[in-house]
Structure formats: structure tokens, C-alpha cells
Amino acid sequence: MKRTTAAITFAALLGALAAACLLVGQQSRSMRAAGDGQPHGTSPETATAGATAADAAGAPTQRKILFYRSPMHPWVTSPTPGKCTVCGMNLAPVFAEEDAPPAAPATPAASAKTPSSAPAPSAPTPATPVIRLSAASASVIGVETAVARVAPLRRTVRVAGVVSDDETRRRVLSARVAGRVEKLHVNQTGARVTAGEPLAVIYSPELLTAQRLYLENRRVVDSGAVSRSEVATSRERLLALGMEREDVARLEHDGRADALLLVRAPYAGTVIARSVFEGQYVAAEAPLFEIGDLSAPWVLFDIYERDLPLVATRQAVEVTFANGTGSAPLRGEISFIDPNIDAASRTARARVVVPNPTGKIFHRQTAEGVLRLETPPVLLVPRSAVLRTGGAPVAYVARTGGYEPRALSLGREGDTEVEVLAGVTAGERVVTQAALLLDNQARIEGIAPEPPASPAASPAPAKPCH
């Protein structure tokens, strides 16, 4: 039984070995036929023709690579192999037969801001660098454009200020005679006084001596001991020492000298400074009080140096106060602009006079002013269209088949638009959204805008917007 099983196993092995040899022989003959180009049963001419047809149908040919593009972000391209700047994937080659320039969509009728699916119909010159981007890709990244237009530039300037008294009506009261302050009728700053109201009483021996001399000269003038000119001189001396004419008249009537001098307010106002106290000795010409007029106060606004060319006298200003004084903004006009610029803050002060009939506007109170300015018509583009990346300002202009970078020469800036002196022309469409993505792609491709031409004329000054 064991011998029979061994014989059967040996026979099976011999059969498998024979089958393997037969298969190897058939593969060798097939390989030789393919290598010689003459399959079995075919003439040499027929074999050569078949090989030529096979090469024409299936053999790869060398295609021209135009550039490399990101598979996930098609607007990211590069002339050399690399990685996508957005997702980091390897850039795929784009061959000549695969790259078809995007068709130029129709430009909509007058629209100030539309999606970038409507670039300008004008085609760039061969020397103009253009970022190639199809309309579908521009829609994916959210490119929007706006028309460069000629219109007035509008700007709102907000300035901070502080309330001050009318400097033309400010008065500093000084002691006209040396003496001691016996009494203060007004002993606090901020007090409101009326014209002729007593402020202080000063005891002065010098004044007492001058009064006695005047009374003696009046007594002996008729005897010829003194001349009438000496009497007049002694009287003027009393007025120079601070006495009022009614005080001199009272002295002449009573005939009694008094060493007390009454200091009165020259006009109505507010005491904004006090320099003396009761019992204090003061020298002649020493300051006692400072009185200001707050019936029509000044609001002094700080105008930054860059805004000074836009501001002029007689411009309307809306004035509001930090504590909410008044139910509505007060309207005033700039009456004066100080030509002296503060060295620390680089600001100049503009003066606006506002009414204060109720006295609710306080001295040194903070205020805010709003100036609405408008220039004559100039070439404008939206502020969002301008890129400032370190060099000259750049904007991207929609062209047929892509977007062209333009270096700009800018003028004044408004609330939502900026003046363009050179770089774009009226009617061209500039990119207002996703311009930074286009700028990154321009840097990858090495596309740089040409420097802008010099502006032809200086801009016209701004005028107030009433």
C-alpha cells in the first residue's frame, strides 16, 4: 500500500514539471517574436506596419509644459515646480493643449461695484504682465471689482478740542500799590462776577500818604503855596494807585484820608484764576485775579498736520461735548487757524466760537468737532482697491484673460475712496476684494508693476461741504 502511494506521488510531480517546461517554452517564443517585430505567421512588412501603427496610437509623445498649477486652488500658479501657497500640495504641470485662455465675459452696464466675472474688454499688450485667471476661478476666490471714476472726494474729519474763554476779553487784575490784603470778597475760582463788584480790600500806607498830600495841596492852593498843576499831579497820582474817580470825589467831599483800597471787577465774567489770600502782602504790579468771559467761549480744536491742507477758515463745524451738553450739536465756523504747530503733538489749533447763553458750557471742557469736506472732481478708486505692501501702492486692473498689477501715485484720502494721480484711468475696473491673493500670486510669478507716471498737476484744495 505504501509503495502504491509513493508511485502515485512521483507520477504527479513528473506531470507538473512537464507542464511548467511547456509554459516556459511558449513564453520564450512569444518574447522572441515581440523582440524581432515578426509575430508567428506574419511577414516582415506586415510586422513593421503593425509596430508603426502601435507607436502612433499608444506611445507617449513629449508635450510642452506652460506652467504649474495647484490642483485644489487653480489661481495659484508658478513657472517652476513647487508647492501651493494655500494648501501645500505639489503643483501639477499644465500643458499647452490643456491651457485655454478664459473667455472675456460681457461687461455689465454702468455699475460701481460688481463681481470680477466682468473684467474690462480691453486686451493687454504683449509686454504687459497679466495674472492669468479664469472667470470661474475668480468667482471661487471672491474677486470683486469697481470702476475708477471722476467724482468729488468726500472726507469727514473728526477733531478733539477744549473750551477756553475769549482771550480778547480776558483781564488780569494786578495790585497798583503795595500793601496787605485785608479782605477777599471773592475767595474762590469759578465765581461769576458783575462789572464793578468788589473783589478785595488792600491796606496801603503809600496810598494813605498820597491822599493826605492831595488834601493838603487842595487846602493851600488858594494861598499860592502850591500851583494848580501840582494839585492836578497829586490827583493823578491817586488814580494811578488804583482809586476810582468816584473814590477821589468822595475823598474831596469828606476830607478824610483812608489807607484801604477797594479793588473792583472791571466787567462781568468768571474768575478763572486767583493768586492771593487774606493777610497776604502783595507788591505793586503783583497779579491778584484773572477774569474771563464765557458768554461766547472759544473751542480750540487740534488739527493734525496731515489734515491742515483740507481745513480753512469759515468752514462749518459741528461741535458736541463729552458730557452731552446740549440736545443737538452746535454749529459754528472756524474763525482762525493758528499757524504755529505744536512740536510734540504736530498739531495746529483752529478756533470756533460757540454761543453759551445758559452758561452750561464750562471752562476747559472737552469737545469734539466734525468737519465734512468735499473737493472738486478728481479720479477716485475705492480704498479697498489699494494695496500697501512696503513699496509703491498697487492696484489690480481687470483685463481680458486676467488681472494686471498697476503701481499708483496717490493723492488725498477720503472716507471710502482715495484720489489717484497716476496709474489707472477713468473707466477701468480695479479689484476691490481678494486683491491680496492676486498680489501673492504675482510675487510667485515674479510679476512687478511698472512705476507710475508723474502726476500732471497738483490737486485742487478741498472746500467745506454745506
User: What are phi and psi for residue 172, nearest 5 degrees?
Assistant: -105, 120
Residue type present at position 128: T
The model's confidence at residue 13, banded by pLDDT at 50, 70 and 90, is low
The model's confidence at residue 1, banded by pLDDT at 50, 70 and 90, is very low
Q: What is the pLDDT of residue 136?
A: 77
- Residue 276 confidence (pLDDT) above 80: yes
C-alpha distances in Å from residue 255, one per residue of 200, 205, 212, 213, 215: 24, 17, 9, 12, 7
User: Grid coordinates representing 239?
Assistant: 488814580
Look at 240 and 140; give whichever has higher pLDDT. 240
Look at 16 and 329; give whichever has higher pLDDT. 329
Q: What is the pLDDT of residue 455?
A: 61
CA distance between the termini of the chain = 125
- Residue 450 confidence (pLDDT) above 70: yes
User: Do residues 303 and 159 lie in contact, with contact meaning Cβ atoms separated by under 8 Å?
Assistant: yes
| 421-446 residue pLDDT tens | 999 999 999 999 988 888 888 888 88
For the chain, the C-alpha Rg in angstroms (whole number) is 49
Query: Per mean pLDDT, which range of 169-173, 283-287, 447-451 is the poorest?
Result: 447-451
Mean pLDDT is highest, among 8-22, 72-86, 96-110, 228-242, for: 228-242
Q: What is the pLDDT of residue 422?
A: 92
The model's confidence at residue 65, banded by pLDDT at 50, 70 and 90, is confident
Q: What is the pLDDT of the chain when averaged over all its residues?
A: 79
The model's confidence at residue 325, banded by pLDDT at 50, 70 and 90, is low
The model's confidence at residue 87, banded by pLDDT at 50, 70 and 90, is confident
The model's confidence at residue 127, banded by pLDDT at 50, 70 and 90, is low
| 149-175 residue pLDDT tens | 999 999 899 999 999 999 888 989 999
When pLDDT is averaged across residues 250-273 and rounded to a whole number, the result is: 90
Q: What is the pLDDT of residue 117?
A: 39
- Residue 214 confidence (pLDDT) above 60: yes
Q: What is the pLDDT of residue 306?
A: 85
Q: What is the pLDDT of residue 213?
A: 92
Q: What is the pLDDT of residue 465?
A: 53
- Residue 23 confidence (pLDDT) above 70: no
Closest CA to 186 of 247, 262, 282: 262
| 367: β partners | 161, 321
